[in-house]
Chains A and B, each alone.
Chain A
Amino acid sequence: MIRRLYRFATGVLTVRITGRGVTRFMNLCIKSGIHIWNVVCADNAQFTFCMYLKDLYELKPFLRKTHVKLRILKRAGIPFLLGQYRARKVFALVIFLVIGAVCWLSTRVWRIEVVGNSFIGEDVVLKYLKEQNITYGSAKDCIDNDELELSLRQDFDEIIWASVYTEGTKLVVHIQEKIASDRPQETGDVCMDLVASRDAQIVSIITRHGAAQVVSGDEVHAGDILVSGRQEILDDNGEVKEYYYQSADADVMGHVVYDYEDWIPEKLSLEQKTGQVQNQYYMIFGNYQWMLPKLYADYDQYETLDSKKQLCLMQSFYLPVFYGHITYMEQKTVEVTLTKDEVKALALEHLEQYLEDLEENGVSIFDKNVMIEKVGANYHIYGEISASESIAKPALTEILPQPSAAQEEESDESE
């Protein structure tokens, strides 16, 4: 490959020699250090071979000596290309400028991808990188990947692992976040109770730390203590000898009732698409944007959809050039009077969405009882949803004086 490139750079000639002394001619060439290759014999008095352009002028004395005739069959290489494009200097200049621009662009970062984030937003990471002087157009050499990985781990508590690497002109920030724990976080020296977050009936309680104050089947109200962080140590007489404090930890499931309410008007204003669509194409280079004019007049009401792409050569050579088009979709507002069946279907859709949201938050639905009735020009949907969910939330434990200390104080006073 390197030899081929060298040959292309220096210029190669394919020549044909004819005459009686062709072998002698070749031997003379070789002895004087001329390199020839791809020697093909047509007959005893005719050969073709390849040679470097620079050796051509050294052949003259050998041609005369051996009475061999030489004819150039093919020319290849940069010297011939330069000769060919001598008259097109601007073209050659543009080619060199383009090559230079590509070389410069390849040393910069033109795309930043954040991978593996779920709690930390991409904009937060990008803002952080900007504070570290790493943004679009930063030189790749100035980015210390190891240092950036370390600073990401140090500055974000949620990040437990980070990997920063470049692929072409793309900077990839791969992070791994901590898995969020359902258990209450350690509060240090502060002792915590678990209290009811809402009115409920206890379904089950599994206590790991603390003294349970409720049992399955108990009715509790919001704020009631479910598991106390304060535990009483009794003496032989059954009196409190000492209080022992340790933050409560338990899984408390309660049966709760959600009130559901929804209003759907009989007449609805709906945005309907007319099917008329037009595209407006644009291109962005750095801070400059070029936009082609629209072909048709603006719609009165429309919805837009922007599809933007970054120019990428091969797999990962991204360039600071964006292109795309904005799609304008015409809309019109129409008044629709819903029938009862249509209202039912819409109400069911809203209810299912509501239940889905509840289930996503860890609520198990037991039962649902929803009614629909027409109130004037609206439909009223209401009902109750029975569910089971974790109702424990941490709250500060009330610290009481130790009984022994209280007795000492009493005895002091009596004395």
Chain B
Amino acid sequence: MGAAEAPLLATARNGRELVVVGNGRWVATQSAALEGAVDAALAEAGTGATETARLDLSGVRRVDTVGAVMVDRLVRRFGEAGAKVSVVGLERRFQPLLNEITQGCHEVPPPRHHLNAIAGGLDVIGRTVVETGKDAMLFLSFIGAVTAAFLRVLLRPQTFRWTSMVFHLERTGLRAVPIVALMTFLIGCIIAQQGIFHFRRFGATTYVVDMVGILTLRELGVLIVSIMVAGRSGSAFTAELGAMRMREEVDALRVMGFDPNEVLVLPRLVALVIAVPLLTFIGSMCALFGGGLVTWLYGGISPEIFINRLREAISLNTFEVGMIKAPFMAAIIGLIACMEGMRVGGSSESLGTHTTASVVKAIFLVIVVDGLFAMFFAAIDM
């Protein structure tokens, strides 16, 4: 290793000639030291008038791309400073590599243009607005396409894919029952507990029953179920359809003369429209049960009083309002999920992006539509 002890680069001035002697291993692992030495040599060269520069590399035992780039930088900079440069002593086996590097272009292209903060912000806002507009148009066109498929199937019901629909009904409906039941039960418990805790101060404990009944039947049952279904089944739909898009299965269907909306989207959508009202019913009942349990155990209101009170507090209307909303929520979740799935491009990031978008958009729209329904039902006194 004696040779390696010599400095990687030594410069000596011989009148108007600058002699630069390289030693050791000019490889990537030495890059920090090497670049320092090269820049020092270049600075040294700048101190006096240099007519010729001789680069003696006979002591260099190994050159890789980094080494060759450094040699190239030396030669180039000396040349730019107006000196005549000669490279001597490089082992022949490294010559092709150096030639390759020397021949190349040396302008590293600048990073893509970045806008400043304000312009960048405006740019983002503008793009988002345009994208949202496009999204809305796409959603409408997708609703149209699915409706057309639905009408075609209505005319020829034997073409509807019952097997597929039942399969999805089982996955999105039956398999979701335990988690939906557990979640709504817990929500019912929490609402009742909070209600008792705060109403007790006014001696209005029995009104907890009204609150639990109206809140769960009108709003929370359907909302919790919709959010659960969007996260559980909506994301699954998007991922499945997206994966099928990526593997060109959707294109294969189309070229065989099938409408993917009819084969893939419609059974899922119908399954969801059937499943969500059923789940909403189960969910509302579980929430009531949870609320009743807590008012009994924690609030000391016996089940008989709870049921009597509930009869007075709610009417069939209350229950209907919740149930009417359920199929609409299902349609929104299903349409968003399938649309996002069909928009997946070739890459796997696109699959991830669209799955996220599917869940976020579905939950957002579910809540917006719930608000619209609240206004609508208030207007018709329901």
Genuine A/B complex: no
